[in-house]
């Protein structure tokens, strides 16, 4: 099944408001063969919700939700003996694609008390919205960024400043007086999680570049990066 065939398959399953055993097996076989990663499964998940949304106006809501639940049990089964992705000690993500972006967004959705960001440049408005939403619900956000990049077209530093988020802009200078950059790309969430890697918080990093991102709960790593953040914040 290709994308169109998947949509037709799901639509046919929804038509009688049931997901039969044979339909579950067919969907599972398709995912095992064609869904290479969580992003591919996310496409199927999106189609499921989209079909359900279209049907809400003229079908019984409860039965539709029951159908959706059966689909999602196949697409994203609950693994009771495995560590949930959001709680896994360490995980790695790569771009191009949405893996890195979605992991950063997820961290902002989960953060409770404070987030310290030390990022070369932030221009991806999808991430910026999550930063602003976290700040709006009371999360204490601090941002360190590169002084030169903050004035680039597309930089979201002004939005953060206008929202009342504390910002520290840094211009690195070498021992012999040459200008450099504050080139870090890391963030610490609630003093418990570290997100770090080559991934710039830009659309280019998501859509074009080969980048990496590591999400870690290693206490030693979190402590070292927190110390670096505080050192730079005190400059």
With tokens 């799901």, the residue in question is 10
Q: Say whether 185 is catalytic.
A: yes
The rounded distance, in Å, linking the Cα atoms of 107 and 190 is: 10
Angle at 195 between CA 169 and CA 115, to 5 degrees: 55
Kindly name the residue from 41, 63, 190, 218 that is annotated as catalytic. 190
Beta-strand runs (E) in the chain:
90-95, 114-119, 140-146, 167-170, 185-189, 193-196, 211-216
- Choosing from 98, 185, 215, 218, the catalytic residue is 185
The question of whether 114 is a catalytic residue gets the answer no
Q: Is 208 helix (H, G, I), strand (E, B) or coil?
A: coil
Q: CA 20, CA 183: separation in Å to the nearest integer?
A: 53
Q: Which of 170, 188, 171 is nearest to 233 (CA)?
A: 170
Stated as kind and residue range, the H or E segment containing 132 is helix 125-136
CA 65 to chain centre: 26
Q: For residue 105, give the nearest of 115, 113, 96 by alpha carbon.
A: 115
* Mutual angle of helices 61-75 and 38-55, in 10-degree steps: 170
Q: Which of 116, 183, 184, 218 is catalytic?
A: 183
Query: Does the active-site annotation cover 183?
Result: yes
DSSP 134-178: HHHTT-EEEEEEETTGGGSTT--HHHHHHTT--EEEE--B-TTS-
Active site residues: 183, 185, 190
């Amino acid at each position: 099944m290709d994308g169109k065939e998947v949509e037709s398959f799901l639509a046919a399953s929804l038509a009688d408001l049931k997901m039969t055993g044979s339909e579950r097996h067919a969907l599972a076989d398709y995912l095992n063969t064609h869904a290479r990663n969580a992003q591919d499964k996310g496409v199927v998940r999106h189609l499921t919700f989209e079909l359900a949304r279209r049907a809400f106006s003229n079908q019984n809501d409860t039965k539709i939700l029951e159908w959706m639940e059966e689909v999602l049990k196949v697409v994203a089964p609950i693994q009771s003996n495995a560590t949930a992705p959001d709680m896994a000690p360490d995980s790695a993500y790569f771009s191009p694609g949405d893996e890195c972006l979605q992991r950063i967004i997820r961290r902002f959705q989960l953060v409770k008390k404070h987030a310290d960001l030390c990022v070369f440049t932030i221009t991806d408005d999808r991430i910026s919205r999550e930063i602003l939403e976290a700040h709006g619900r009371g999360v204490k956000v601090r941002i360190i960024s590169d002084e030169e990049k903050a004035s680039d077209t597309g930089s979201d530093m002004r939005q953060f400043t206008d929202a009342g988020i504390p910002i520290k802009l840094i211009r690195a200078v070498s021992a012999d007086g040459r200008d450099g950059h504050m080139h870090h790309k890391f963030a610490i969430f609630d003093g418990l999680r570290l997100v770090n890697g080559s991934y710039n918080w830009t659309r280019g990093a998501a859509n074009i570049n080969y980048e990496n991102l590591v999400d870690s709960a290693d206490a030693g790593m979190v402590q070292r990066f927190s110390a670096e953040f505080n050192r730079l914040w005190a400059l």
